[in-house]
């Protein structure tokens, strides 16, 4: 299938999953994950109505951004090293992978002189896999309390990655866990605008949407398998 056909199919499945739980699919943002994808194929995705690109490496984002207009929204979804922070400011509209205090400090410090405020999501390792980045669930409240006052940062939600499972149904408790955690953060920190639940990838986004995802990150489901 072509990129545009894939996008149509993904949108259709998002709409069906949303309908199963009485959600309005219009509130669900599809981020096309473009790691290893070259600008030509990315352009096809834009033509098919995509407005958001997700990159997991800063260098790749910096390299590809000049090919596109300002109206494309860029998401940094991968692990962010502190020495790359300066390059993210003003380039990524949303950082999905804030997972440690020193990164929060660096982002805040780099944002301040520019006058920009960096929207961030906290990455939470709900499944507690050793191989995954993210805050442990029990660390989240203290982390939010600590960084909520950092200038130049705006905490806007949570992100997680589910374990790769042969049956996507197995990932449901992970997504439910992140949604519940977001609810608790909202109650405890009512002044924050917690609006994004970034969860769901090509294998499991339908379950994620059923559990409340409103940012889904789809790569291979749109562009085909990566080598
Ligand atoms: C690669 C990646 C995705 C997309 O994965 P697919 O399985 O290709 O849809 C989503 N989120 C993150 C953080 C990624 O690195």
Give per-residue pLDDT as tens, 158-212: 999 999 999 999 999 999 999 999 999 999 999 999 999 999 999 999 999 999 9
Confidence of residue 20 (pLDDT cuts 50, 70, 90): very high
Residue by residue, DSSP assigns 29-76 as: EEEEE-TT--HHHHHHHHHTT--EEEES-HHHHHHHGGGS-TTSEEEE
Range of the domain at 148: 3-223
The conformational region for residue 2 under phi > 0 = left, psi -120 to 50 = alpha, else beta, is beta
The secondary structure of residue 97, as a DSSP letter, is E
In the prediction, which pLDDT does 88 show? 98
Share of the chain above pLDDT 90, in %: 99
Contact 56, 34 (CB under 8 A): no
In the prediction, which pLDDT does 125 show? 98
Q: What is the mean pLDDT of residues 15-40?
A: 98
Q: Is the pLDDT of residue 227 over 90?
A: no
Most distant pair of Cα atoms in the chain: their distance: 47
Bridge pairing between strands 52-55 and 196-198:
unpaired
Nearest CA to ligand 1 atom 12: 77
Distance CA 56, CA 198 (A): 14
In the prediction, which pLDDT does 111 show? 98
Contact 122, 140 (CB under 8 A): yes
Tell me the per-residue pLDDT of 51-95, one tens digit each, with 9 for 90 and over: 999 999 999 999 999 999 999 999 999 999 999 999 999 999 999
Q: Which residues contact 54 (CB under 8 A, 6 or more apart)?
A: 31, 32, 33, 34, 35, 74, 75, 76, 77, 96, 217, 219
Query: Cβ–Cβ contacts within 10 Å for residue 73, how many?
Result: 15
Distance CA 174, CA 202 (A): 16
Count: domains in the chain:
1
Contact 55, 77 (CB under 8 A): yes
Q: Which residues contact 48 (CB under 8 A, 6 or more apart)?
A: 3, 4, 7, 8
Centre of ligand 1 from the C-alpha of residue 201, in Å: 6
Angle at alpha carbon of residue 33, lines to 180 and 183, rounded to 5°:
10
Q: Which residues line ligand 1 (CB under 6 A)?
A: 33, 35, 56, 77-78, 161, 201-203, 217-221
Confidence of residue 49 (pLDDT cuts 50, 70, 90): very high
Distance CA 132, CA 123 (A): 10
Centre of ligand 1 from the C-alpha of residue 211, in Å: 18
Q: What is the average pLDDT score of the chain?
A: 97
| Helix, coil or strand: residue 11 | helix
CA nearest 114: which of 150, 95, 89, 85? 89
In the prediction, which pLDDT does 12 show? 98
The CATH number given to whatever domain includes residue 120 is 3.20.20.10
Q: Which residue has the higher pLDDT, 131 or 23?
A: 23
Q: Which of 10, 29, 30, 33 to mutate to test the pocket of ligand 1 (most atoms within 8 A of CB)?
A: 33
Confidence of residue 4 (pLDDT cuts 50, 70, 90): very high
Centre of ligand 1 from the C-alpha of residue 35, in Å: 8
């Amino acid at each position: 299938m072509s990129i545009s056909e894939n996008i149509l199919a993904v949108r259709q499945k998002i709409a069906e999953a949303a309908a199963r739980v009485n959600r309005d699919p219009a509130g669900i943002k599809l981020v096309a994950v473009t790691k290893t994808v070259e600008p030509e194929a990315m352009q096809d995705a834009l033509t098919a109505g995509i407005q958001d690109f997700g990159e997991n490496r800063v260098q790749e984002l910096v390299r590809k951004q000049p090919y596109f207009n300002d109206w494309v929204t860029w998401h940094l979804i991968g692990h962010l090293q502190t020495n790359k922070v300066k390059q993210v400011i003003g380039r990524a509209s949303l950082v999905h992978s804030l997972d440690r205090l020193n990164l929060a400090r660096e982002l805040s410090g780099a944002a301040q002189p520019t006058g920009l405020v960096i929207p961030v999501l906290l990455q939470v390792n709900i499944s507690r896999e050793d191989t995954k980045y993210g805050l442990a669930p029990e660390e989240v409240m203290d982390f939010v309390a600590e960084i909520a006052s950092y200038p130049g940062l705006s905490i806007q939600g949570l992100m997680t990655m589910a374990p790769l499972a042969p049956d996507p149904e197995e990932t449901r408790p992970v997504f439910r866990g992140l949604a519940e955690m977001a609810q608790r953060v909202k109650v405890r920190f009512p002044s924050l605008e917690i609006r994004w639940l970034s969860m769901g990838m090509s294998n499991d986004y339908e379950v994620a949407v059923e559990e409340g995802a409103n940012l889904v990150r789809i790569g291979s489901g749109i562009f085909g398998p990566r080598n």
